[in-house]
Amino acid sequence: MANFSKQICVFLSLFVAFSLALDHNEPGFLKRQHSLIKPYTGSSASIPNWDYRDATMITNSFVRLTPDHQGKRGSLWNRIPVYLRDWELIMSFKIHGGGRTLAADGFAIWYTKQRMEPGPVFGSRDQFSGLGVFLDTYKNGPQAVTFPFITAMVNNGSMNYDHAGDGRQNSIGSCLASFRNKDFETSISIRYVKSRLTVSLNVDDGMDWRECFDVGGVTLPVGYFFGVSAATGDLADNHDIVGVKLYEIDAHRPQGEDDGWGTAVPSVSFFKPPLDNTDESAAGGFRNTAMSGFKIFLIFICALLGLGVCVVVGFVVFQKRQEQSRKRFY
């Protein structure tokens, strides 16, 4: 009997594990127009629905954003805007190079209004509108953490990426992950469901996904583009993208739900401050600007109340003195 229950337990655990694995492998409805699946059909010089530029090179089994050479940049962008409210992007990649521990700079995964615009942020433009997830392989800042390091930033188009601090100033979440020079394929999942952004990694051998960070209150409008870009500096790496799968997630939204999502401005309702950033003046960002406005308003109200109390107390004291002087007079 004990054996039988043990068998049932094993069966149930296997079933749960299998369902979970299946859930992460096929989390929703695959959207082929936003996916990049081997073998990439089309001529060797083009991939349907995708554009690329600069150093990017297409092979039969991967797209190389940069080779392991100094001073290169490359990018790959989906051509079709994404009109999905809830989605999960799973990207498999291979970052490898001659440097055993020293390499640069890593790559960025984008969901932005702009596309195909080169610039200083992992090969793409700064002051972007939307989401950037950065898989950073080179430590620019002085912070005592090991690299590679993953951060993410939501931008309304006004903020600059914090290069000197490896993106920590505006980071909405981060984690450490060793993903360079692996013999097997490594993957990242970016899941955006009901304004919740969850980044998970599969960078260890096997099928184990682990959460990098999870943050709620994230607004990302529809109609933006997925892209990926990479850059090298004095140090370099091969930044290879093996595949991209975009799934539409059924979040069971009520029918006729308010849909101002096309014109929404990218934002995060709460801003998790960087771990080792104690310099308040350096903690810039549009949410902090809104916060200082609110602070000024509070200070103004307090000052007004204080003034009111002073006037009342002053008046009462004045009245009492008048009464006392009148008593003395009589």
Site for Ca ion in 159-178 (CB under 5 A): 166
Asked whether position 237 contacts Ca ion by CB under 5 A, the answer is no
138 binds Ca ion (CB under 5 A): yes
Rule CB under 5 A: say whether 140 interacts with Ca ion.
yes
| HSE-up of residue 197 (Cα within 13 Å, Cβ side) | 24
Among 86, 136, 162, 240, indicate the residue that binds Ca ion (CB under 5 A). Answer: 136
CB of 165 to Ca ion, least distance (A): 9
CA distance 66 to 231: 7
**Binding of Ca ion by 225 (CB under 5 A):** no
Taken in order 294, 300, 301, 302, is the CA torsion positive or negative? positive
Q: Which stretch binds Ca ion (CB under 5 A): 3-11, 111-119, 132-140, 180-188?
A: 132-140
C-beta of 140: minimal distance to Ca ion in Å?
4
DSSP 31: -
Binding of residue 40 to Ca ion (CB under 5 A):
no
**Residues in region 194-223 near Ca ion by CB under 5 A:** none
Q: Mention every residue, 6+ apart, whose C-beta is less than 8 A from residue 240.
A: 62, 63, 64, 65, 93, 94, 95, 96
Write down the least CB distance from residue 283 to Ca ion, Å.
19
Cβ closer to Ca ion: 102 or 249?
A: 102
Q: How far is the CB of 105 from Ca ion (least distance, A)?
A: 6
**Rounded least distance, CB 123 to Ca ion, Å:** 13
Point out which residues pair with 111 in neighbouring strands: 131, 226
Binding mask 285-324 for Ca ion (x = CB under 5 A): ----------------------------------------
Give the span between the Cα atoms of 96 and 100, in whole angstroms: 9
Options 46-54, 78-86, 138-146, 315-323: segment touching Ca ion (CB under 5 A) = 138-146
Q: Is residue 219 within 8 Å of 264, Cβ to Cβ?
A: yes
Which pair of structure tokens corresponds to residue 32?
């082929």
Task: Using the rule CB under 5 A, give the single segment among 140-148, 183-191, 194-202, 225-233 that binds Ca ion.
Answer: 140-148
Q: Produce one character per residue of 280-301: b if its CB has 16 or more CB atoms within 10 Å, e if not.
A: eeebebbbeeeeeeeeeeeeee
Write down the H helix ranges in the chain.
2-25, 286-329
CB count in 10 Å sphere of residue 47: 18
Question: 88 vs 136, which CB is nearer to Ca ion?
Answer: 136
Binding mask of the shown chain, residues 253 to 292, with x at each position contacting Ca ion by CB under 5 A: ----------------------------------------
- Annotate 97-122 with DSSP letters as a single string: -S-SS----EEEEEEES--S-EEEET
- Tell me the number of residues near Ca ion by CB under 5 A: 4
User: Contact positions toward Ca ion, by CB under 5 A?
Assistant: 136, 138, 140, 166
